[in-house]
């Protein structure tokens, strides 16, 4: 367990979000409702700070997008009174690939979805006079496990300083559905994808280093991912 005062954390973050919204003079907040841990925590905190918070469900090809992810997004909305809307981007992705007319390597193709989602979120936010809230956590950011100009693009990010482990404990404190915060982390970029399998290391190992400085046997993976992703953070 991490020794954090989650009640105080919630109060401070809600106050910060409220201030950001007030200073920007906007009408609300938009966030990508993926059905995962990070998205859930961002949605809850933003709803606590701003009544006009909308989660956007954006399936883009993966079967999980249409099943478990979608179900969990709605489950969160029901529990916390978060409004949701759905924008299916699968057809848009296919049209883009067809328009470009070339074969895509694996990495090029999986980065299309996060960038289409970013475009959709900003279009909706501009139309509604809202800000886009980011959902990347500290662990992902340190590893560079995000898409540049995709899920990394936002107006503010209320969880960027929290590790994946802290996000999970925060959700437990807020009594979020266990089905959300206990499932395997996945960006659902393709069927069967999980974050930890992609990186070859667990979030527990990453977070132990970030929270304690201890370098475990797989530290070389953390170091490599961090070094090669410098361009993303800068």
Q: What is the pLDDT of residues 147-198, one digit of tens each?
A: 999 999 999 999 999 999 999 999 999 999 999 999 888 776 677 778 898 8
Where helices occur in 50-105 by DSSP H, the ranges are: 63-66, 68-80, 90-100
pLDDT mean across residues, the chain = 94
What percent of the chain has pLDDT above 70? 97
Q: Which tokens is 31 given? A: 């966030």
Number of helical H runs and strand E runs in the chain? 14, 4
Tokens describing residue 93: 């992705």
For 4-27, how does the pLDDT look when each residue is reduced to its tens digit (9 = 90+)?
899 999 999 999 999 999 999 999
Query: At the topology level of CATH, where does 6-233 sit?
Result: Rossmann fold (3.40.50)
Provide the pLDDT for residue 180. 94
Q: What is the pLDDT of residue 29?
A: 98
CA 84 to CA 72: how far, in whole Å? 12
- Tokens 């070859």, residue located: 200
The residue with greater pLDDT, 51 or 183, is: 51
Q: What local confidence, expressed as pLDDT, does residue 64 receive? A: 80
- Smallest CA-to-CA distance from 37 within 145, 149, 159 is with 159
Name the pTM for this structure: 0.94
pLDDT of residue 1: 54
CA separation for the pair 98, 94 (Å, rounded): 6
Helix or strand run (H / E) with residue 45? helix 37-49
Angle, CA of 155, 92 and 100, to the nearest 5°: 105
pLDDT more than 90, % of the chain = 82
């Amino acid at each position: 367990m991490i020794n954090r005062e989650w009640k105080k954390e919630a109060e401070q973050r809600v106050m910060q979000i409220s201030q950001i919204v007030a200073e920007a003079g906007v009408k609300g907040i938009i966030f990508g409702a993926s059905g995962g841990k990070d998205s859930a925590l961002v949605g809850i905190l933003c709803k606590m700070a701003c009544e006009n918070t909308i989660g956007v469900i954006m399936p883009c090809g993966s079967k999980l997008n249409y099943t478990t992810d979608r179900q969990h997004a709605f489950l969160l909305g029901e529990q916390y009174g978060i409004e949701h809307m759905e924008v299916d981007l699968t057809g848009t992705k296919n049209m883009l690939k067809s328009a470009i007319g070339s074969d895509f390597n694996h990495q090029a193709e999986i980065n299309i979805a996060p960038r289409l989602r970013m475009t959709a979120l900003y279009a909706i936010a501009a139309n509604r006079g809202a800000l886009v809230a980011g959902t990347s956590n500290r662990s992902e950011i340190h590893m560079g496990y995000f898409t540049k100009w995709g899920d990394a693009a936002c107006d503010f990010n209320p969880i960027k300083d929290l590790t994946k482990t802290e996000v999970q404990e925060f959700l437990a404190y807020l009594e979020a559905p266990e089905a959300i915060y206990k499932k395997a982390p996945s960006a659902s970029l393709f069927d069967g994808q999980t974050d930890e399998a992609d990186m070859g290391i667990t979030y527990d190992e990453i977070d132990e280093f970030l929270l304690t400085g201890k370098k475990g046997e797989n530290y070389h993976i953390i170091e490599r991912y961090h070094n090669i992703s410098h361009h993303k953070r800068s």
